[in-house]
């Protein structure tokens, strides 16, 4: 009887051989999935999106195609294909799991939606079966891969022109991806759900690969180019809209929501003050602008120019912030949260009672202040369409560009304040107020400044919101409701995106506004889904989607777990 001797080299080679077999399976399954996207998945156009064509992928099939292409590309990179090694500085296994899962989930969801909506599996063409089965092969194989997580080697530098081209290309791609999501038809929720699945899992996988860190290093070497590319991407959004102002209004509201969330981020993210009535400051700015901007329903009959209305609205919110903050900021924790929640409700009720019956006639009570005229700056009427470079920009495109300026101002204020001495004092108060005061920081004064600054930024956004909506009613400023912005969604946007950061609340606001706007059929279950999402986030990524370095260290510090292992190893060696 012959026995095969097992050497250390043989043992080491076995996982590598198994991995290569799995990678070949991932590559083959991804290639077959790509081919299936060019086949018909159903024979009838009754299903939204027209998946009946051969050789011309519909948008839903394009998502499957993109997911499969990325999966196959990373599988080839893991196999050592020349020229693709740079795709995964931190290793391939985790990235492949997320990419393959995203492609499979998108495909299975689409195929399942066809069967459910049309009433059975008989409505599926062979292309749908091929797509579903082929996409499951890479997903199953990817989760069998051995973990190859590693520390990324130092990256080499490219010529400046090449790095600039990379920055431009990435920002152009990002603009296309965002535009694709916003432009999805509200009557086709399947497309938007598939878009969320694909983008969410693909983005997570790419983050695991370490590629975004390499891109961050490139943008760090070319900050001015990155800023210009960012501005160009945002400014270019309304110019590439094919449907006029239909979806530009969503973008405007996202910017308003994000601007207010950045103001709340000063209060919650930097100073650590739990404010549950923050939306009231947005309402103060909106109501003030409505009363002084020439509305026919205004009790004052005043028509100030926009720049003056902005100043008046911001100052009014500042005053309210100081008046509310002065007596309440001596409280901490849950007590402060309860008081601010009460202020938010008092504001909404007070605006509803100033109708001439229950109180002075100032706000027209529940009817609000309608007929707020559109802005006009330097002869440019924001309520009219304008032709720019041969492209027609509608009314909401005008407000979109205006909100970009407002957001840029708010970002500048937030960044300068956060990096200043007062910003460091806010962080000290957030981490430990007692210790901060023991070191000489005037806790009450520092917190009041944060409260007042946050209120001012919210009031600034409120002045623009009043003109965008052309009416202001108390129901827009509640603690929780089906339509953001409200206090609960604003707080969630800050926590979801990442407290204390700039990009975090912007991303959180975009997600929390865009998802309810696109998935109207989930209105009755919106808060349920919202709560489940927050629970999962707190469990899997408590620092938020985009976290600062301090939060990462606080929530993912492994030194405590590593210390006993290191000690045991030292004793064994001795």
Q: Where are the alpha helices (DSSP H) in 119-144?
A: 126-142
The pLDDT, as a whole number, for residue 113 is 92
Q: Do 352 and 330 belong to one domain? A: yes
Report yes or no: 448 and 325 within 8 Å, Cβ to Cβ.
Answer: yes
How many domains does the structure of the chain reveal?
Answer: 2
Q: Taking 60 as the threshold, does the pLDDT of residue 260 lie above it?
A: yes
Return the CATH number at 260.
Answer: 1.10.3470
Residue 137 carries which DSSP code?
Answer: H
Question: How is 340-407 classified by DSSP, letter by letter?
Answer: HHHHHHHHHHHHHH-BSSSS-BSS-GGG-B--PPPPEETTEETTS-EEETTEEE-HHHHHHHHHHHHH
The pLDDT, as a whole number, for residue 572 is 41
The pLDDT, as a whole number, for residue 61 is 92
Residue 133 carries which DSSP code?
Answer: H
Q: Mean pLDDT throughout 562-568? A: 41
- b/e string for 133-143 if b means 16 or more Cβ within 10 A? bbbbbbbebbe
Determine how β-strand 380-381 pairs with β-strand 376-377: antiparallel
Q: How many residues does the structure list for the chain?
A: 574
Place of tokens 């070319």: 222
Flag whether 184 is in a domain. Answer: yes
Report the distance separating Cα 433 and Cα 441, nearest Å. Answer: 9
CA distances from 518 to 47, 198, 276 (A): 18, 16, 26
Q: Which of 233, 255, 284 is the last residue of a domain?
A: 233
Q: Do 394 and 266 belong to one domain? A: yes
Flag whether 549 is in a domain. Answer: no
Q: Do 350 and 390 belong to one domain? A: yes
Place of tokens 């009838």: 44
Range of the domain at 31: 14-233
- Read off the pLDDT band of 573 (50, 70, 90): very low
Question: Both tokens of residue 348?
Answer: 């909404």
Q: Taking 70 as the threshold, does the pLDDT of residue 45 lie above it?
A: yes
Closest CA to 453 of 299, 198, 271: 271
Question: Both tokens of residue 14?
Answer: 């076995």
pLDDT tens per residue across span 333-377: 788 888 888 888 888 898 888 887 877 888 888 888 888 888 777
Q: Mean pLDDT throughout 490-507? A: 85
What is the Cα Rg of the chain in Å? 27
pLDDT tens per residue across span 192-249: 899 999 999 999 999 888 888 888 888 888 888 888 888 888 888 888 776 567 778 8
The pLDDT, as a whole number, for residue 12 is 38
Question: Both tokens of residue 534?
Answer: 């927050």
Q: Do 128 and 47 belong to one domain? A: yes
Residue 159 carries which DSSP code?
Answer: P
- Read off the pLDDT band of 6 (50, 70, 90): very low
Q: Do 208 and 270 belong to one domain? A: no
Q: Do 152 and 257 belong to one domain? A: no
pLDDT tens per residue across span 443-471: 888 889 988 998 999 999 899 888 888 88
Q: Do 66 and 103 belong to one domain? A: yes
- Read off the pLDDT band of 555 (50, 70, 90): low
CA distances from 30 to 25, 85, 302 (A): 8, 19, 65
Of the given ranges (63-77, 170-184, 435-449, 557-571), which has the lowest mean pLDDT? 557-571
Question: Both tokens of residue 200?
Answer: 């969410």
Q: Do 73 and 147 belong to one domain? A: yes
Flag whether 272 is in a domain. Answer: yes
Q: Do 359 and 475 belong to one domain? A: yes
Q: What proportions of the chain, in percent to the nearest 5, are helix, strand and coil? A: 70, 5, 30
Flag whether 562 is in a domain. Answer: no
Report the distance separating Cα 25 and Cα 139, nearest Å. Answer: 10
Q: Do 256 and 365 belong to one domain? A: yes
Q: Do 182 and 291 belong to one domain? A: no
Flag whether 6 is in a domain. Answer: no
The pLDDT, as a whole number, for residue 271 is 84
Flag whether 171 is in a domain. Answer: yes
Q: Which of 175, 201, 233 is the last residue of a domain?
A: 233
Place of tokens 């969801």: 109
Question: Both tokens of residue 573?
Answer: 């060696």
pTM (two decimals)? 0.81
Give, to the nearest 10 degrees, the angle between helix 189-209 and helix 503-518: 160
Flag whether 427 is in a domain. Answer: yes
Q: Mean pLDDT throughout 405-427? A: 88
Q: Do 436 and 462 belong to one domain? A: yes
- Read off the pLDDT band of 535 (50, 70, 90): confident
Q: Which of 208, 233, 258 is the last residue of a domain?
A: 233
Residue 510's Cβ-count burial label (10 Å; 0-12, 13-18, 19+) is: buried
Closest CA to 429 of 332, 328, 497: 332
Place of tokens 């606001």: 509
Cα 331 versus chain centre, distance: 32
Flag whether 548 is in a domain. Answer: no
């Amino acid at each position: 009887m012959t026995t095969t001797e097992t050497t250390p080299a043989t043992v080491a080679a076995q996982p590598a051989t198994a991995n290569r077999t799995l990678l070949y399976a991932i590559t083959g399954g991804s290639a077959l999935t790509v081919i299936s996207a060019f086949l018909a998945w159903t024979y009838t156009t009754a299903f939204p999106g027209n998946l009946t064509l051969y050789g011309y992928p519909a948008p839903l099939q394009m998502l499957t195609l993109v997911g499969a292409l990325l999966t196959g590309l990373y599988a080839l990179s893991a196999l050592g294909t020349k020229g693709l090694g740079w795709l995964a500085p931190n290793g391939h296994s985790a990235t492949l799991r997320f990419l393959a899962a995203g492609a499979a989930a998108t495909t299975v969801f689409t195929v399942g939606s066809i069967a459910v909506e049309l009433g059975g599996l008989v409505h599926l063409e062979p292309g749908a079966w091929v797509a579903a089965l082929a996409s499951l092969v890479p997903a199953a194989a990817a989760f069998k891969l051995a973990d190859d997580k590693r520390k990324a080697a130092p990256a080499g530098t490219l010529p400046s022109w090449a790095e600039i081209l990379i920055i431009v290309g990435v920002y152009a791609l990002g603009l296309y991806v965002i535009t694709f999501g916003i432009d999805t038809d509200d009557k086709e929720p399947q497309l938007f759900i598939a878009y969320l699945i694909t983008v969410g899992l693909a983005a997570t996988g790419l983050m695991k690969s370490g590629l975004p860190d390499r891109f961050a290093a490139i943008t760090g070497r070319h900050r001015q180019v990155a800023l210009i590319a960012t501005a160009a991407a945002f400014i270019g959004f309304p110019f590439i809209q094919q449907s006029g102002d239909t979806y530009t209004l969503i973008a405007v509201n996202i910017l308003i929501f994000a601007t207010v969330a950045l103001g709340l981020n000063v209060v919650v993210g930097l100073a650590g003050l739990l404010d549950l009535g923050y939306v009231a400051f947005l309402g103060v700015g909106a109501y003030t602008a409505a009363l002084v901007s020439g509305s026919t329903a205004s009790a004052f009959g005043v028509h100030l120019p926009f720049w003056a209305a902005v100043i008046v609205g911001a100052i009014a919110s500042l005053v309210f912030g100081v008046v509310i903050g002065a007596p309440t900021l001596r409280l901490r924790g849950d007590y402060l949260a309860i008081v601010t929640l009460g202020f938010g409700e008092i504001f909404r009720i007070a605006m509803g009672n100033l109708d001439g019956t229950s109180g002075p006639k100032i706000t027209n009570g529940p009817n609000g202040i309608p007929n707020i005229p559109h802005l006009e700056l330097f002869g440019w009427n924001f309520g009219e369409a304008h032709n720019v470079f041969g492209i027609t920009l509608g009314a909401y495109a005008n407000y979109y560009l205006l909100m970009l300026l407002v957001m840029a101002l708010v970002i500048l204020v937030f960044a300068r304040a956060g990096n200043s001495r007062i910003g460091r004092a806010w962080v000290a108060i957030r981490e430990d107020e007692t210790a901060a005061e023991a070191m000489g920081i005037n806790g009450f004064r520092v917190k009041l400044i944060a409260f007042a600054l946050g209120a001012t930024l919210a009031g600034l956004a409120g002045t623009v919101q009043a003109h965008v909506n052309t009416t202001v009613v108390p129901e827009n400023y509640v603690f929780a409701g089906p339509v953001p912005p409200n206090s609960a969604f604003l707080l969630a946007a800050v926590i979801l995106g990442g407290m204390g950061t700039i990009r975090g609340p912007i991303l959180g606001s975009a997600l929390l506004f865009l998802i309810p706007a696109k998935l109207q059929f989930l209105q009755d279950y919106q808060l349920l889904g919202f709560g489940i999402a927050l629970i999962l986030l707190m469990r899997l990524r408590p620092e938020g989607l985009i976290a600062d370095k301090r939060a990462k260290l606080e929530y993912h510090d492994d030194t405590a777990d590593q210390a006993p292992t290191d000690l045991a190893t030292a004793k064994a060696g001795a």
